[in-house]
Structures are given as C-alpha cells and as structure tokens.
Chain A
Amino acid sequence: MQLNQIREILSARVLWGEDHLDREVLSACGSDFMSDVLAYVKNQALLLTGLVNVQVVRTADMTEMNCIVFVRGKVPSESIIQLAAERGIVVMTSPKRMYEACGLLYSNGLRGDCDGND
C-alpha cells in the first residue's frame, strides 16, 4: 500500500515527506511500547503510535521503517520531525484512535504480516 493511500484512509496530515508519498509499505505495527516495535521487524513497514518522543523516531530508524503515523491527532515537536526528516522517515498525524487506525488499514488490505512466531 502506498503512503498516499494511507494518508487518505487515515484522514492524515503529512508533517514531513510530502514528496515521498509514492513509497510502498508492506506491513504495519501499532504500539506505544518501543521494545515491542523493536521485537517486530519486517521490511518496509509503517509504525502507528500514540507515543510522542524522539525515541519513536530512533526506533523507526533502527528498524528501517518508512513512515510513522501519530494517532489521535498528536503532533510531535519540530525537533522530532526534524530528526525523522534527517533519517528520511515520512511523518503523519491522524485524528483516528489507535484501534480504529489499525482496523481501517487492516480492512483495506494492509496486514500485520506477523505469523505469531519470532
């Protein structure tokens, strides 16, 4: 699924990376626990989170994620957006709550791609 579709489905606003919305993501992970995110590694993934701090960007960077979506209308500070920009990670904010955001993406075909095994 392309990032521009994700923006549409989640009624999201792009905070950085307007020029990279043709990027493809293959799976997604929704969590506020960064160690849970680090335990989940898939190629070209999307991170949905309600946590707003610089470690969210570092976690996405370490796991080579393409995009971070902050849910429930949360907007990170300029320094957080700046770090994401330096790392080439697209940043969006969506008014949807976590459960709804994950459900919408899943029902539109973006799977977690998680087989339940490590």
Chain B
Amino acid sequence: METIKLVYPVDGGDLIEAGEASSKMKLTLKRLGLPPDVIRRASICMYEGEINMVIHADGGEAQVEVGMDEITIRMTDTGPGIPDVDQAMKEGFSTAGPTARELGFGAGMGLPNMKRYADELAIETEVGRGTVVTMKLKIPS
C-alpha cells in the first residue's frame, strides 16, 4: 500500500462542532481496513488534539499519513504556544476556560490521553507562534 495523505482543516470557531475532522478520519481508516484497535487509538488521539486546537488555538490543520506500518497524525496551529510543556503533560493541569468544561473537557487530560494512546508523541511549540503535535501509531502486521 502506498502512503496515503489526508488533510483536514479544523475550524476554530465552534467547540460544539469540534470532532468532525476526527470523525471523518475514523471513517477513512475503517474504509482502508485497518485493525479496529489502531483506528480507535488514532481517533481518540486526533479527537483530543482537535479539541485542544479549538479550545486553545482557534483551529488549525490536521495532516494524517497512513503508511504500510505506521499512522502519523500531525496537528499544526498558529495559536499561543505552550509555555511549559512538562506542566501541560501532567494529568489535571489545564488552562481551558468554562466553555470547554461545560462540554466535558478542560480537565487536563488531553495531552496525557494522546500520550496514552499514541506510540510516539512529539510537541514542538513556540510561545506566540504556535504548536505542532505529532503522533505516531504503529500498525500491527
């Protein structure tokens, strides 16, 4: 199988609608016939990333590459950046506002959940310029 590249814009305007891109990716991964466990983990990773993007960065873009043995999800935004990544990785730490909490997020679980389900997680961030979160998930043969 050749590497398949997918690009999903994430609309920053509406937290209610967040999750649409992840939902589309999930359907595509299903069509490609990937193992259910990988689809579920990839969907959760991207969903948490999408929610984060909408809460903190006014949207952005998700690029997904599906290769022979690996899925790479790269989420890029031009938001405020993360001043202290170690702190952001701690379960329970959150800077999200009341709207996110009303929707059941903002409990400081987003990045920890991404780390839990991705095989690799890398965060490149610069305050005032934006953040790129890259997650890799191995596809078992």
Contacts and interface: CB of A to CB of B under 8 A. Distances in A.
A114 to B, nearest CB: 14
B26 A35 contact: no
Residue from the set B22, B43, B112 with the largest chain A CB neighbour count within 10 Å: B43
Nearest to A39: B113
Contact of B104 (A33, A63, A118): A33
Contact of B109 (A36, A49, A63, A64): A36
Contact of A53 (B51, B103, B109): B103
B12 interface: no
A35 B18 contact: no
B23 A55 contact: no
B71 to A, nearest CB: 15
B38 to A, nearest CB: 12
Given A39-B109, A61-B23, A55 B40 contact: no
A56 B16 CA distance: 10
B19 A63 contact: no
A4 to B, nearest CB: 25
A41 B22 contact: no
Interface string A41-69: 10000000101011110110111100000
B36 A55 contact: no
A32 interface: yes
Main SS at interface, chain B: helix
A62 B16 contact: no
Contacts of A63: 40, 44
A118 B41 CA distance: 13
A9 interface: no
25 contacts: A32-B104, A34-B105, A35-B48, A35-B104, A38-B44, A38-B47, A38-B48, A38-B109, A39-B109, A41-B41, A41-B117, A49-B104, A53-B103, A53-B104, A54-B16, A54-B17, A55-B103, A55-B104, A61-B26, A62-B19, A62-B23, A62-B26, A62-B43, A62-B47, A118-B116
Given A33-B107, A58-B23, 19 more contacts: A33-B109, A35-B104, A35-B113, A36-B107, A38-B113, A39-B109, A39-B112, A39-B116, A41-B40, A41-B117, A54-B16, A54-B19, A55-B16, A58-B18, A58-B47, A61-B26, A61-B43, A62-B19, A63-B44
Interface of A: 32-39, 41, 49, 51, 53-56, 58-59, 61-64, 118
